[in-house]
Structure 1
Amino acid sequence: MRLRNRRDRRVAAALALGIALAVAAPLTAGASQPGRSPAAADPEAVGQYEIRSKSAPSERSAIAATGVSIDEVKPDKLVVSADRSQARELRTLGHELKPLPAPSREPSASAAKVFDFPSADAGYHNYAEATAEIDRLVAAHSAIMHKQVIGKSYEGRDIVAVKVSDNPASDEDEPEVLLTHHQHAREHLTVEMALYLLREFGDDYGKDSRITQAVAGREIWILPDLNPDGGEYDIATGSYRMWRKNTQPNRGSSHRGTDMNRNWDYRWGCCNGSSTSPRDDTYRGAAPESAPEVKVVADFVRGRVVDGKQQITAGIDFHTYSELVLWPYGFTTGDTAPGMTRDDRDAFAAVGRKMAASNGYKPMQSSDLYVTDGSIDDWLWGDQKVFGYTFEMYPSSNRDGGFYPPDEVIERETSRNRDAVLQLIESADCMYRSIGKEQQYCAD
């Protein structure tokens, strides 16, 4: 019934969407063609390539320094997203690249599918559908949910936070947990993760003891979509474009977009873990928090400081793909660094490994993959002392859909994280309990 209603709404919106497409300004990444690497058709379009390599983190960091995004790391190979120029640079550096097929979902012939997912993936929610579903859930569970608009994207779309608590209109003295989704445009499964969590909290409150206790004892902030502009651009043709960044223009360049997860204001641009070129997928922006969406969320987090104390104690930033649980730091390969003691690191690792044991992901420090700088997890800990994790969701491999897994897996792969999310919520009052040091760090 839900899918039928959604199709009806799409047909009703077809004319407006068609007009919007006609006037939309093209960006620099071209639309994907089924069965072909986009970069093979358009020198500025992004395609995926396989690099056969038993690489070490230092070699992967060198590859990332060319401006490509590393999408998958396996013992004997890497998968990267690159345009033709970047692929040529990697070959010059001695890497052998195998082009991978572009996402294979065929666009619909119907104008109603413009600015929407391919018909085969109708189970995914575009921005309008996700907004309607959030509003429906908040209205149905108003006793424990409150939605607020915390700011606007570059193109003027709402960035919202939904507070889940047994007293959502009150600011109680309870640990707060931050759950963020969809920094990278092509990672649409993360929006479905947010909608799943809202449904679980709403439907199971008062019925499931863990959910009830989590809502009663914590203030949970769910931010379903940090990059609505990029997400809409990625599906603007009714097919997939492999877009990663937001869509803001870059002064002096025809290339739009900033990689939001390289734009946070902690060790920004410090360590060769992001790009200075607006062309690149990992472009870090002109300055820290130059991406308006990053500034909105950072201001929101800073606004949770009450009487000099940050109320948010832990969080998860959801991404795809690779099935990983990651913790900071990303800017350094050292387990400890200024601002990260051995006990801090051990608590991060203990909780991270326990969550990974639940959802079947692989746990590791972020820089064990490759060096990044300006990431949300590094900022949350380094600037705000929030235990921030990244979950790289399903699949583990490009072979199972990469950034575009079929909609049939949505329920299975979102519910897979239920226990892990609840573990973090339950640990949020004292993360050091995981290493037996609650008396040292958490005693009143």
Structure 2
Amino acid sequence: MRIRRGRKRLTAAVAATLTLALGLTLNTQATAAPPSAPSVTRYEVTGVSTADERTVLARTGTAIDEVRADSVVITADQADARRLRAQGYDLTALSAPAERGGVGAMAPSDYHTYAQTLSAVSTARSQYPGLVTSQVIGRTYQGRDIVAVKISDNVTVDENEPEVLFTSNQHAREHLTVEMALYTLEELTTQYGVDPEVTSLVNAREIWIIPSVNPDGKVYDQESGAFRNWRKNRQPNTGSAYIGTDLNRNWAYRWGCCGGSSGSPSSDTYRGTAAESAPETRVVANFVRGRVIGGEQQITAHIDWHTYGELVLWPYGYTYADTATGLTADDASTFRTLGTAMANTNGYTPQQASDLYITDGSIGDWMWGSQKIFSYTFEMYPVSSSGGGFYPPGSVIDRETARNREAVLTLLAYADCVYRIIGKQSQYCA
């Protein structure tokens, strides 16, 4: 058994220097002190046990953090809690989870900051110049770089090979997903030439990693000294004191169609004023559209990393139907079979996204509905708030990122023809 190397940490002095250097490149909005976030509490909402009932709750503008057998867990401020109780919901306040303090609690310093993430990318590029390049594909509302990392054997050449994309950190508070991105980068570089499977896949694929889709939100949630439980980006909303758009409700496929997002800026699932109204969504969408070459989308498969729940999800999220416009029975079978195969490697639960509740304007629906990319959403550790919710302790990072190694390799293996997993490669990939 290969012994995993210890995770590399930057010293506080280096991190501070990097943060200062990065700060000098940002506009004044990026460096100004943000307004205080409202005080929030986690609640269990009982009597919500079916997808329909969860969808009805979500349509109030409430973001559902966790799905239990006969209830859900949400995060709400006092005004939201009063509003939901007035609508007949039974809310029970939960004791503070690990992320709010206590033995084994995650501290903001446990996970890579935005500056440290960029430093890790720079280090990989320097150590493996034949395997790794990176590029700034656009900037956030506050002017921070959104970086895409490319891994391939002839990395400076745009080869005619299947491409796979991994995105992380659409939701600001989901810092474990950035660690997943950096783990994947490390695994595909340090094991190249060592592990035959990794070597073969890197030779035959072009792999893209976007470690943080939402840098502004990440910085706001992580770098004040205490977590803020922040989900959205940091874009102001005209005419409202409420900040931010939920990036994963802002994509331009069935945007706002089906009660799966909120039109209220105060909501954690606020979809924005229009599809791709958030600059971060638009940057990543433009990058993906830019991979259409000769009329053909080069990216064939995608994982969007989230926390938490230990789930493997696939489209569509906007409808309960297994098939719909642009999603045939063979497509659905392929999604289900590959999703189940990946879940078998990590112990997650595989299901269609709408089995949880209806969402619209999500990245997975857009990737498939607009670009015909086989797109999966992985909800990482933990399965419940008892493991730390959105803020699990740093001691689990190595274990929970490595837990997804085989799932990543499985996706890469089928990226040449995803329909091969249902035995229909001759029909679809000739």
- What TM-score, normalized to structure 1? 0.90
CA distance in 2, matches of 1:156, 1:72: 32
Question: Which blocks of at least 5 consecutive residues in structure 1 are unaligned?
Answer: 31-37, 40-46, 108-117
CA distance in 2, matches of 1:217, 1:270: 39
**Secondary structure of 2:407's aligned partner:** helix
* Residue of structure 2 equivalent to 1:326: 313
SS in 1 for 2:115: helix
Give per-residue Cα distances to partners, 1:103-136, cap 9 Å, x unaligned.
55579xxxxxxxxxx9845331001111111100
- Describe the superposition over 1:145-201 as per-residue Cα deviations: whole angstroms up to 9, x where unpaired: 111110001111110111111111111111100100000000000000000011101
CA distance in 2, matches of 1:424, 1:269: 30
Q: Is 1:322–1:393's contact at 8 Å kept on the other side of the alignment? A: yes
Q: Which residue of 2 aligns with 1:114?
A: none
Q: What is the RMSD computed on CA atoms of the aligned residues?
A: 2.4
Secondary structure of the residue that 2:416 maps to in structure 1? coil
SS of residue paired to 2:426? helix
Question: Structure 2: which 5+ runs fail to align?
Answer: 1-5
The answer to whether structure 1 residue 198 and structure 2 residue 180 are counterparts is no
Match of 2:89 among 92, 95, 100: 95
Q: 1:355 to 1:65 in 2, by over 3 A?
A: same
SS in 1 for 2:11: helix
Q: Given that residues 105 and 239 in structure 1 are in contact (C-alpha distance below 8 angstroms), is that contact kept between their aligned partners in structure 2?
A: no
Question: Are the aligned partners of 2:140 and 2:214 in contact in 1 as well (CA < 8 Å)?
Answer: yes
Counterparts of 1:122 and 1:312, CA distance in 2: 34
- Relative distance call for 1:202 and 1:298 in structure 2 (3 A) is same
Deviation at 1:7, TM superposition (A): 2.4
Query: Which residue identity does 1:308 align to in structure 2?
Result: G
> In percent, how many aligned pairs have the same letter?
57
Question: 2:100 & 2:365 partners in 1: Cα distance?
Answer: 38
2:58 partner letter = A
1:293-347: CA deviation from partner (whole Å, max 9, x where unpaired)? 0000000000000110000001000000000000000000000001100000000
1:190 is paired with a residue of what secondary structure? helix
* Cα distance between partner residues in 2 of 1:195 and 1:326: 22
Partner of 1:151, secondary structure, is strand
Separation (CA, whole Å) in 2 of partners of 1:384 and 1:82 = 35
Which residue in the other structure is 1:154 paired with?
Answer: 141
Identify if the C-alpha distance between structure 1 residues 60 and 164 changes in structure 2 by more than 3 Å, giving closer, same or farther.
same
Which residue of structure 2 lines up, in the alignment, with residue 407 of structure 1?
A: 394
Distance (whole Å) between structure 2 residues aligned to residue 263 and residue 424 of structure 1: 26
How much does 1:8 deviate?
Answer: 3.1
- Partners of 2:401 and 2:367 in 1: how far apart? 24
Paired residue secondary structure (1:122): helix
* One-letter amino acid of the structure 2 residue matched with residue 7 of structure 1: A
Taking structure 2 as the reference length, the TM-score comes to 0.92
- Which amino acid in the other structure matches residue 252 of structure 1? G
Q: Tell me how far apart the structure 2 counterparts of residues 375 and 160 of structure 1 sit (CA, whole Å).
A: 21
Question: Partner of 1:62 in structure 2?
Answer: 56
CA spacing shift, 1:79–1:346, aligned 2, 3 Å = same
Aligned-partner Cα distance in 2 for 1:306–1:373 = 28
Equivalent-residue separation in structure 2 for 1:159 and 1:276 (angstroms): 26
- CA 1:18 to 1:422, structure 2 compared with 1: closer, same or farther past 3 Å? closer
Match of 1:314 in 2: 301
Relative to structure 1, is the Cα distance of residues 310 and 433 closer, same or farther in structure 2, using a 3 angstrom cutoff? same
Instruction: Quickly say closer, same or farther: Cα 1:254–1:359, change in 2 above 3 A.
Output: same
Once the two structures are TM-superposed, the CA of residue 88 in structure 1 deviates from its matched residue by 1.8
Closer, same or farther: CA 206–10 of 1 in aligned 2, 3 Å: closer
* Secondary structure, counterpart of 1:350 in structure 2: helix
Which segment drifts farther, 49-58 or 21-30? 21-30
Match of 2:406 in 1: 419
> Once the 2 structures are TM-superposed, how far is the Cα of residue 81 of structure 1 from its aligned partner?
2.0
